[in-house]
Amino acid sequence: MIELQPFTAHDFTQLMEWVDDERLMKEWSGSMFSFPLSEAGLTWYVEGSNDMNDPDVFIYKAVETKTGLTVGHISLGGISQRDRAGRITRVLVGKSTERRRGICQGMVRALLRIGFEDLQLHRISLGVYDFNHAAINCYLKCGFQQEGVLRDVVRHGDDYWSLVEMGILEDEWRALQTPTA
């Protein structure tokens, strides 16, 4: 089982170790950070986050409850109280050896619970590069629907990456919480 805990300066070193190449960083963060990750960049990133009184962005580390180990990173930002909407960003399962174990699904489901129950959001969206089939499958299993594709939105070297836009509404998420008879 995965528990989300606030991401703090104590977690910077581990995240910097995980994001160890430029391509991975671009996949994880878009163009938000420059490579390599630095404490200064991460300090700016967490500034003002995780404030339930002024919700704008929530940044979490994912902890496996059985072992107590931090196994990932995820954030929910772009929160609009007026529209009751938010956007999942910067999803990362830490070590590549930990992937394909359901950690991403656990992280996303935990974040959806926070978004729909604690923050009372109506809609949560995300964007994922079209070549990241494992992530797309994870999001589909969590109830997201594909809403469209933004073609060639990011350039990496000589290649362009397209972004799959996905979203889930509160009623869709609540329907998934009801056990089937």
Please indicate, yes or no, if residue 108 is contained in any of the structural domains.
yes
Which CATH number do you get for residue 37? 3.40.630.30
Q: Does the structure show a pLDDT above 60 at 181?
A: no
Please indicate, yes or no, if residue 156 is contained in any of the structural domains.
no
Contact 2, 65 (CB under 8 A): yes
Q: What Å distances lie between residue 87 and 68, 97, 172, CA to CA?
A: 27, 27, 16
Q: What is the pTM of this model?
A: 0.94
Please indicate, yes or no, if residue 36 is contained in any of the structural domains.
yes
Rounded-to-integer distance, Cα 150 and Cα 3, Å: 32
Please indicate, yes or no, if residue 173 is contained in any of the structural domains.
no
Rounded-to-integer distance, Cα 131 and Cα 135, Å: 9
pLDDT-derived band of residue 31, with 50, 70 and 90 as boundaries? confident
pLDDT tens digits for range 152-180: 999 999 999 999 999 999 999 999 997 76
Please indicate, yes or no, if residue 159 is contained in any of the structural domains.
no
Please indicate, yes or no, if residue 166 is contained in any of the structural domains.
no
Contact 1, 64 (CB under 8 A): yes
Helix or strand holding residue 113 (H, E): helix 103-113
> Could you list the residue range(s) of the whole structural domain that residue 13 is in?
2-125
Provide the number of structural domains found in the chain: 1
> Is the sign of the CA dihedral 92, 173, 146, 83 positive or negative?
negative
| Letter string b/e over residues 145-162, b meaning 16 or more CB atoms within 10 A of that residue's CB | eeeeeeeeeeeeeeeebe
Q: Between 98 and 145, whose confidence is greater?
A: 145
**Angle, alpha carbons 112-74-99 (nearest 5°):** 100
pLDDT tens digits for range 94-123: 976 556 678 999 999 999 999 999 999 999
Please indicate, yes or no, if residue 180 is contained in any of the structural domains.
no
DSSP 8-class letter at 2: E
Please indicate, yes or no, if residue 26 is contained in any of the structural domains.
yes
